[in-house]
């Protein structure tokens, strides 16, 4: 499958049963619902998918479920992150064997060092398969920041890298990357509350979080932004922003899963060390959601 780096690609949450095993039945239902509502790709096993608390075997099983559920309707682009480069290479090769269509390549968990080491990690994973690669830059979460110049260097060396998910929270990064590489890489927004700004700067796709609960609104917002329909885009954006900002804080997984539960598309269970929200923190999220639901735009 040729990857078209456009549209809204949900970074899906990983649902858990009451015993905290992975709920593969709901994964199948959820990703099919997302595709039916206009999603153009599915990204399992990322940060929002609690990849750090899934074993390699569980990640591979999640990939298989998603591939089986969506077939060739949209590309499946799993997050490839691990404590070691060896494990990341293993996951990449397993993804290829399962029929995934591309790889979202992350720096290693926990260990974050200099450019020489991080560069070698990305090169090793990208060259481990024939699949196209999406470089994930998220310095807030992973403490590794791929600068525009470093991304340009990787683009020159690795034809496998086709796109960048830019999650530095700085929309200027999109223009900075574009300045150095032109159209060599497709650029995507990886922060929920920077979509309109990112598109204005030249981003072509959106790997989103709140789309897990609000796919129609997410797709409409993206389409209006890409079409340059400012008034329509900002009408949705103003309504959506309090929810989208839930994606940019430490407990974004708990918050998004709670929202999913409240709209009837998921459960708030998370794996330790995360804990379900309680008290004022939980009520604050519910108040944001109640306000949003009371003013939900007609699409």
- Alpha carbon 28 to its chain centroid, in Å, reads 18
Q: Tens digit of pLDDT per residue, the chain (299 long)?
A: 679 999 999 999 999 999 999 999 999 999 999 999 999 999 999 999 999 999 999 999 999 999 999 999 999 999 999 999 999 999 999 999 999 999 999 999 888 899 999 999 999 999 999 999 999 998 777 788 899 999 999 999 999 999 999 988 777 788 888 888 888 999 999 999 999 999 998 999 999 999 999 999 999 999 999 999 999 999 999 999 999 999 999 999 999 999 999 999 999 999 999 999 999 999 999 999 999 999 999 98
H-type helices in the chain, by residue range? 24-36, 56-70, 85-98, 115-126, 139-142, 148-157, 172-181, 195-201, 215-226, 230-244, 252-262, 279-294
179 exposed, middle or buried (CB, 10 Å; 0-12, 13-18, 19+)?
exposed
Greatest distance between any 2 Cα atoms in the chain: 51
- Catalytic residue IDs: 136, 165
Helix (H) or strand (E) holding 270: none
Coil, strand or helix at 25:
helix
Q: Tokens 């990939």 sit at which residue? A: 63
Spatial distance between the Cα atoms of 104 and 207, rounded to a whole number of angstroms = 11
Give all domains of the chain, ordered by start, each with its CATH number.
Answer: 7-236 (3.20.20.70)
Supply the pTM of this predicted model.
Answer: 0.96
Find all residues with CB under 8 Å of 199, minimum gap 6, and list them: 189, 222, 225, 226
Question: Binding site annotation covers 3?
Answer: no
In whole angstroms, how far apart are CA 233 and each of 110, 204, 215, 223, 238?
38, 15, 15, 8, 9
């Amino acid at each position: 499958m040729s990857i078209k780096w456009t549209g809204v690609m949900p970074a899906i949450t990983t649902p858990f049963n009451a015993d905290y095993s992975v709920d593969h039945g709901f994964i199948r239902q959820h990703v099919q619902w997302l595709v039916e509502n206009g999603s153009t790709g599915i990204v399992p096993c990322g940060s929002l998918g609690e990849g750090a608390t899934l074993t390699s075997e569980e990640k591979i099983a999640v990939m298989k479920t998603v591939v089986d559920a969506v077939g060739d309707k949209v590309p499946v682009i799993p997050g490839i992150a691990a404590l070691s480069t060896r494990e990341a290479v293993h996951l990449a090769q397993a993804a290829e064997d399962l029929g995934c269509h591309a790889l979202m390549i992350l720096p290693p968990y926990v260990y974050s060092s200099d450019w020489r080491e991080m560069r070698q990690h990305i090169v090793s994973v990208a060259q481990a398969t024939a699949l196209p690669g999406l470089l994930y830059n998220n310095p807030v979460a992973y403490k590794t920041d791929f600068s525009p110049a470093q991304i340009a260097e990787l683009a020159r060396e690795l034809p496998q890298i086709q796109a960048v998910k830019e999650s530095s929270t700085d929309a200027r990064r999109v223009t900075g990357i574009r300045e150095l590489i032109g159209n060599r890489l497709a650029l995507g927004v990886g922060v929920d509350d920077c979509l309109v700004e990112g598109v204005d700067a030249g981003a072509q796709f959106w790997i989103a979080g709140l789309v897990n609960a609000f796919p129609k609104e997410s797709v409409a917002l993206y389409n209006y932004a890409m079409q340059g329909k400012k008034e329509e885009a900002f009408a949705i954006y103003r309504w959506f922003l309090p929810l989208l900002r839930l994606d940019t804080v430490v407990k974004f997984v708990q918050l998004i899963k709670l929202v999913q539960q409240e709209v009837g598309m998921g459960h708030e269970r998370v794996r330790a060390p995360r804990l379900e929200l309680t008290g004022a923190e939980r009520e604050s999220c519910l108040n944001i959601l109640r306000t949003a639901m009371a003013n939900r735009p007609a699409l």
